[in-house]
Amino acid sequence: MTMKRHGHAPILKLRNAAISYETRYGDIEAVRNVSFQVDRAETFGVVGESGCGKSTVAFGIVDFLGPNGKIVGGSIKFQGRELIGRSQEELRKLRGDQISMVYQDPMQALNPSVTIGDQLTEVLTVHRGIAKKEARGKSIRMLERVYMPDPANVMERYPHQISGGQQQRVVIAMALLNNPALLIMDEPTTALDVTVEAVVLDLIEDLKHDFDTAIVYITHDLGVVARVCNRVGVMYAGEMVEVGSVEAIYDAPQHPYTQGLMRCVPKLGSTKESSILYPIRGRVPAPKDRPEGACIFAPRCDYSTDRCHNEKPQLRELSPGHSARCFYSETIDPSTWRPPDGLVPEFASRAGGNGQEPIIRLKDLKTYYEQESRSVLSLVGLGEKLYVKAVDDVSLQVPPGKTLGVVGESGCGKSTLAKTIIGLETPRAGEAQFLGFDITVPVSERDVKLIEELQMVFQNPDSTMNPSYNVGHQIGRPLRRFNVVPSDQVRDEVVRLLRAVRLDASYCDRLPRQLSGGEKQRVGIARAFASRPDLVLCDEPVSALDVSVQAAVLNLLMEIQQEYGTTMMFIAHDLSVVRFFSDYVAVMYLGHIVEIGPAEDIYAPPYQPYTEALLSAVPIPDPTAEQKHIRLHGTVPSALNPPSGCVFHTRCPRRDLLPDGGKICEQDVPPWQHNSDEHRIMCHIPLEELRKMDPVVTSR
Amino acid sequence: MFVRDYMTRHPVMGDPTMSIVEAQGIMAETSVRHLPVVETGKQLVGLVTRQRMRIPPTDLASLNVWEITRFLSNLTLQDVMVKRDAVITIEPDVALEEAAQVMTRHRIGCLPVMDGNTVIGIITEIDMMAQLTDLLGGRTPGIRATVRMPNRKGELAKLIGAIADNGWGIYASGGVQTPKDPSHWDCVIKVRNVPQAELVAVLERIEGQKLIDVRQQH
Amino acid sequence: MAGTEQTMPKTSAQPSGLARLWEGISILFESKIAVVGLLIILFWIFVAIFAPLLTPYTPTEQDYTAQNEAPSARHPLGTDSLGRDIWTRLIYGARVVLVVLPVTETFWLPLGTALWGVLLGLLVGSTLGLMGGYLGGWVDEVVMRLLDAMMAFPVVLLYMIIIAAVGASATNVVLAIAIVGTPGIARLVRSLTLDIRTRDYVRAAEVRGESPWYIMFVEILPNARGPIIVDAMLRVGYAIFAMGTLGFLGLGLPPPSPDWGSMVAKGRQYILSGSPWAALWPSVAIGSLVVGLNLFADGLSEESTRYQ
């Protein structure tokens, strides 16, 4: 490696940094004892669950903490200069010239009323006094550099006219125009779809080498860290508990928390067993509840001893460049770890049910949204009616007691499909039957008996509960409405349901704001299961949760499902989550199901090309895993005017397997090809060709 | 082999109003010997070296100890730096040897690398040394052989041909006129993963050329 | 038990209702302007309730020996042109505004005229806003156009039209305040509803097949209460102002009731003849109460949005 040749001093060096926020309850130390350094052309990942202080660290570096935040101790050195105690004026100059930030939401950094070209050139003309014309040329070159298609055209557009992935690329280009020595990225890909995320992550990796920039990369996603980072710091409850190279951290994590994290992220490995998730018990303590003079992780640690509760461990170097904050790192062997009783439910074999009549059956279901055309004609009712084909020709069936995972990028119609089944949207055409009832009618016209059997778990824990009522009331409402139990027994039933989701009776009287995200989601699950439905739709129930909580909620859902024998449809954007959970998986693209079949078949060849691309885009938390490098370019076309023939043909990376470069894909709707009884693929490429493909992921 | 490939990007820099004391601290902390002085937008206004920060004793001779302290603490980079007009700079696309020539001609230790008036890097003697090392493959284990050949066309081809005929490759090479002998040319090659005896045998067989040094480098 | 979240000991114990109330009050006291506003309002409520104990006179008692007097020991704020004690009239006038609503001579409702007006406006406005925001479609179109039409009228003109049509009485003033306040309230509630209806708990209620009325009033309305309460505070201020205006124009409570607006109207004739007291004090009363309500509402909204 040529970059280390001079023994340069690190670009950024933090030593025992501590940051506090002033609140109404006094100062709260959000972050303490954080030490790490970042070299040129190195990406340092700061990883941790929400509330562990990782963003505070990022903002602390440039003192962007807001009026109530302040750095209370330690040292933060940038290029040898101490940043703590600098005036805002000096820091502002540094931020402009040498340190850039990229946020999760690109619109935070872009001015919606100024063209992208003007925003980019302004960086050069204002700061560096470069002539306008030259600045424009440089900006276009930089846009090319971040792989922006048609940069000259993009320069003329406004931020809202380009997609989220492209916005994020503009923000990165803008950050790089200053040629910063340090780039701080705070969850830059979290809001993006996995296929777009994959492209942006590739870009970040390339840029690091070309610009010799030091990058601090903040994320909660262990998969992303494995893909882009050289070194990693794991944060827990405001402290850095382990620091090391990415290989060392993933291969031999030394802190029990890191080990626990590794066990609770879905792996997308080669076998189904590798996707069992083991949650970490307990939850991250709030800053004011953090144990003093003790190991902060001790209350949740499987190895904790009296010493852990009475003495604070320091960050110790275990091997060169690899440190952990644990007394027993040398003696703990994660390979001998066994889950404590009850951590993971017993999973009964889920054979059987195959011969049974499907509980839900959709045939050629179409749900369109009418779009107001903006022409003058439409004002007088003559305009051509346009339709957003959110769900188009969807056919599927689920046997009772089984789980169907529905996967796809945002805008693929998976949520509309769920809304159609539940009755919040009315299909335009097609058949939909549930338990023999017709469910193409809206929920308001359905029989109470039918409504009772069809319930839903929602995505956002913060809005799934009505903030005005306590938990007991909200779980009790479906019980009362559907007369599940006599009204004098409602309270007992609520307590029983709370127990089923592992919450105790005291939760009855709590208001939603007193609950953590995971707890709210549990209550949401209890509410959905209150009427003992036959089918529960789960719309991304864990995507907003932290990984350790996510695992617990997923296991809980499965356990309840087995107890009640419920059928489930599980909607997710990520193939790694549904794998362990589902018996069947359907992959959707632009309103169509393009591949459907038993879960195991989806993850092995033959793949529909879109499934293959999705699988190869998922960030895998294992730096040694081999993953195919397939990237989709462009964006999902508008469902208002979907491509002719195969809807995926505009982005399909496998078209060249067909004669004429896949001309047929543009002309004809592809046929369903049956790989087995239950596994079918919608593609023009012959099955024999598809079978020849290699598996996307091979782990060593 | 251009300046842009060997320069240090994102050099440590100073502000014109930074005190000498702080600048010295930074230079010690980051072990750099040259500090480009920039204003907003990384616009170059001067350059400070360690020599520049040594105050000539004559400046202090007439001052008492309190005055010296105050004199030093008030001194900022703009008081001691080489001003922009006197700083010799270079562009990133210049060939490395040309940059070296500029440095030797002016007897200076570093060149700020500029894009317009913006500092994008710095190239120093150390970078040149590193380049020299890389040129001859100095950081890679292998056999380093020096062959002396007559100064005429086709001699280098003979050497390369001999190596290639054996299916070997040259990892790095460099040639220079034999010191004090314009009729000959010394060529240094680096060959990897070849037994030394075999290589020596092949090189000694080349007609008209002389193997003057062979050594194993680790 | 293992593997669940509640294994962590809960340090934040379940707060009782009282503790929550105390927390709310303590938030209120963080804001100085809210406290100032509250003190002004409390002062007026206090003097209104205890009016008979705070003065030896009755509001209609006339003393022909003491007309248009300046403040003195006997009459702390002076007297008006009929020799009535201004302080007495002021605090009895406050009763009508804040404490009681005289429906007929003998039948009085608790809560003042201004409060009833705003409450009635809230009831109608919230219902219309909820319907427009939640049901959408043509209901929304019709409701909003109707309210737009009402908002197009100048407020004072609207008051005068209504009172002129139905006659001057306390109940009709309530009606006028309600009608004039409705469009603004409806707009506010509608915009809040548009936001809240996208929440998952509303979706959950729909999935349960709840009726639109249940969703509007049980799921949505309670979550819009914060901004509605703040808005209502301001509206009570406007209502007091409106009452003053109506009284001034002779459209308020029939004389000789102690109405602030008509007191100003009467007193203004004597300003130039050297007795400004009869006009000054009721103006100060209206102003201070409106300012108090505004301060209180401002402080409340500021503090309630600061920590969320």
Residue A672 clears pLDDT 70, i.e. is over it: yes
pLDDT digits (tens, 9 = 90+) for A331-354: 888 777 877 766 666 655 454 455
Is A127 near chain B, with CB under 8 Å? yes
What does the pLDDT read at residue A285?
82
**Residue C206 with chain A: CB contacts under 8 Å:** 424, 443
The pLDDT of residue C1:
35
pLDDT at A343: 67
A584-589 and A592-598 strand pairing = antiparallel
Q: What is the DSSP string of A263-313?
A: HHS----SSSGGG---PPSS-PPPGGGPPSSS-TTGGG-TT--HHHHHSPP
**Residue carrying structure tokens 């031999």:** A252
pLDDT of residue A46: 94
Q: What is the 3-state secondary structure (H, E, C) of A66-90?
A: CCCEEEEEEEEEECCEECCCCCHHH
For residue A396, what are its two tokens?
A: 């599927």
Contact (CB<8Å) A464/C200: yes
Residue appearing with tokens 């939640």: C134
Minimal Cα distance from C215: which residue of A? A466
* pLDDT the model gives residue C151: 86
Q: Give A90's Cβ-side CA count (13 Å radius).
A: 13
Top residue of A444, A468, A522, A525 to mutate, by most chain C CBs within 10 Å, is A468
Percentage with pLDDT > 90 across chain A: 27
Helix extents (H) in B75-154: 77-80, 96-106, 125-135
Q: Are strands B184-191 and B170-177 parallel, antiparallel or unpaired?
A: antiparallel
Rounded Cα–Cα distance for residues A599 and A584 (Å) = 5
First-to-last CA distance in chain A?
A: 25
For residues A670 and A655, the answer to whether their CB atoms sit within 8 Å is no
Contacts of B117 in chain A (CB under 8 A): 128-129
User: What are B67-107's pLDDT values in tens digits?
Assistant: 888 877 888 898 889 999 999 999 999 998 899 999 999 99
Is 50 exceeded by the pLDDT of residue B154?
A: yes
Picking from A375-379, A522-526, C121-125, which range would have the lowest pLDDT averaged per residue? Answer: A375-379
Tokens representing C275 are: 């007795």
Alpha-carbon distance B79 to C247, whole Å? 78
Cα–Cα separations (whole angstroms), residue A594 to A390, A396, A420:
14, 11, 19
Sort C193 into a burial class: Cβ within 10 Å, 0-12 / 13-18 / 19+.
buried
| pLDDT > 70 fraction of chain A, expressed in percent and rounded | 93
Residue by residue, pLDDT tens for chain C (308 residues) are 333 443 333 334 445 567 767 777 777 777 788 888 889 989 988 888 888 888 878 777 777 777 777 777 777 787 877 778 888 888 888 888 887 777 776 777 778 888 888 999 999 999 999 999 999 888 999 998 988 888 888 888 888 888 888 887 778 888 888 988 999 999 999 999 999 998 999 999 999 989 999 999 999 999 988 889 888 988 988 888 888 888 888 877 776 677 888 888 888 888 787 778 888 888 888 899 899 989 888 887 776 665 43
Res. A372 pLDDT band, cuts 50 70 90:
low
- Tell me, what amino acid is at C222? P
Residue A272 has pLDDT above 70, yes or no: no
> Looking at beta carbons, which residues of chain B come within 8 Å of A80?
12, 25-27, 29-30
Amino acid letter at C107? F
Q: Per-residue pLDDT averaged across A417-444, rounded?
A: 89
Task: Please report the pLDDT score of residue C14 as a whole number.
Answer: 47
Grouping H, G, I as helix, E, B as strand and the rest as coil, residue C39 is helix
Residue A447's Cβ-count burial label (10 Å; 0-12, 13-18, 19+) is exposed
- Please give the structure tokens belonging to residue B23: 């600048």
pLDDT at A344: 67
pLDDT exceeds 90 at position B37: yes
Taking an 8 Å cut-off on Cβ atoms, the answer to whether B40 and A96 are in contact is yes
Question: Residue A495: pLDDT band by 50, 70, 90 thresholds?
Answer: very high
Query: Is the per-residue pLDDT at A415 higher than 70?
Result: yes
In whole angstroms, what is the distance from residue A577 CA to residue A550 CA?
10
Query: Residue A233, SS3?
Result: strand
Q: How many whole angstroms separate alpha carbon A698 and alpha carbon A604?
A: 11
- How far apart, in whole angstroms, are the C-alpha atoms of residue B111 and residue B101? 11
Beta strands at A182-186 and A214-219: parallel, antiparallel or unpaired: parallel
Q: CA B144, B150, B156, B162: dihedral to nearest 10 degrees? A: -70
**Choice among A145-149, A176-180, A533-537, A648-652 with the minimum mean pLDDT:** A145-149
What number of C-beta contacts closer than 8 Å exist between A and B? 66
The label of the residue with tokens 């807001």 reads: A66
Closest CB to A79 among B12, B43, B120: B12
Mark yes or no for CB contact A128/B41 under 8 Å.
Answer: yes
Q: A185 near A217, Cβ under 8 Å?
A: yes
A166-222 per-position pLDDT tens digit: 888 899 999 888 889 999 999 888 888 888 888 889 888 888 888 889 999 999 888
Residues of A in contact with C199 (CB under 8 A): 463, 466
Give the residue carrying structure tokens 């290589």: B199
State residue B54's pLDDT score: 78
pLDDT for the residue A379: 58
By Cβ distance, the residue of A9, A127, A213 closest to B30 is A9
Rg, C-alpha atoms of chain C: 23
Q: How confident is the model at residue A97 (pLDDT cuts 50, 70, 90)?
A: confident
Say if residues A314 and A295 touch (Cβ distance below 8 Å).
no
Alpha helix locations (H) across B94-144?
Answer: 96-106, 125-135
Q: CA gyration radius for chain B?
A: 24
Query: Tens digit of pLDDT for each residue in A301-330?
Result: 888 888 999 888 988 888 888 999 999 888
Q: What is the three-class DSSP state of A467?
A: coil
Give the CA radius of gyration of chain A: 27
Q: Nearest to residue C36, comparing CAs of C307, C296, C246?
A: C296
The chains in contact with chain C, meaning 3 or more Cβ pairs closer than 8 Å, are A
Per-residue pLDDT tens over the stretch C103-154:
776 777 778 888 888 999 999 999 999 999 999 888 999 998 988 888 888 8
- Picking from B9, B22, B134, the nearest residue to A211 by CB comes out as B9
The rounded distance, in Å, linking the Cα atoms of A493 and A498 is 9
Given a cut of 80, whether residue A361 has pLDDT beyond it is yes
Token pair for A623: 């730096």
Please count the CA atoms within 13 angstroms of the CA of A353 that sit on its side-chain side.
18
**Model confidence pLDDT, tens digit, residues A600-640:** 888 888 899 999 999 888 888 888 888 888 888 777 788 88
- Select the residue from A446, A466, A508 to test the C interface by mutation, using most C Cβ atoms within 10 A: A466
- Between A372 and C115, residue with greater pLDDT: C115
Phi, psi of A360 (to 5 degrees): -135, 140
CA angle C189–C190–C196, rounded 5-degree value:
85
Distance CA C270, CA C249 (A): 17
Q: What is the mean pLDDT of residues A394-415?
A: 89
Give the pLDDT confidence of A567-596 residue by residue, as tens digits. Answer: 999 998 878 888 878 889 999 998 999 999
Task: Name the more confident of A248 and A128.
Answer: A248
- Give the chains touching B; criterion: ≥3 Cβ pairs < 8 Å: A
Instruction: Give the DSSP H or E segment for A397.
Output: strand A386-398
Q: Are B122 and B7 in contact (CB under 8 A)?
A: yes
Contact B127, B6 (CB under 8 A): yes
Q: What is the pairing mode between strands A214-219 and A43-47?
A: parallel
Q: Do C2 and A282 touch (CB under 8 A)?
A: no
Residue A271 pLDDT grade (very low, low, confident, very high; cuts 50, 70, 90)? low
Residue A2 binned pLDDT confidence (cut-offs 50, 70, 90): very low
In chain B, what is the straight-line distance between the N-terminal and C-terminal CA atoms, in Å? 24
Residue of B nearest to A81 (CA): B26
Rounded CA gap, C240 and C115, in Å? 9
Nearest to A545 by CA among A537, A532, A533, A556: A556
Residue of A nearest to B28 (CA): A80
Q: Distance between CA atoms of A52 and C156, rounded to whole angstroms?
A: 57
Question: Which residue, A621, A615, A585, is CA-closest to A601?
Answer: A585
C82 CB neighbour count, 10 Å cutoff: 16
Q: Which residues of B touch A (CB under 8 A)?
A: 8-10, 12-13, 22, 25-27, 29-32, 38, 40-43, 116-118, 120, 126-127, 130, 134, 139
Q: How far apart are CA A68 and CA A66, in angstroms?
A: 6
* DSSP per-residue letters across A106-128: GGGTS-TTS-HHHHHHHHHHHHH
The answer to whether the CB atoms of C7 and A459 lie below 8 A apart is no
Q: Which of A11, A81, A130 comes nearest B10 by C-beta?
A: A11
Q: Quick one: which of C101, C93, C145 has its CA closest to C261?
A: C93
Q: What is the largest CA-CA distance in chain B?
A: 77
Structural tokens at position A287: 């800053």
Residue A513 sits at the chain C interface (C-beta within 8 Å): no
Residue-level pLDDT at C106: 73
Query: Exposed (0-12), middle (13-18) or buried (19+): which is A365, by Cβ within 10 Å?
Result: buried
Among all residues of chain C, which has the CA nearest to that of A478?
Answer: C208
Give percent of chain B with pLDDT exceeding 90: 28
Structure tokens at C147: 């309210």
Q: How far apart are CA A588 and CA A605, in angstroms?
A: 18
Q: Where are the alpha helices (DSSP H) in B45-193?
A: 50-53, 57-60, 65-74, 77-80, 96-106, 125-135, 155-165
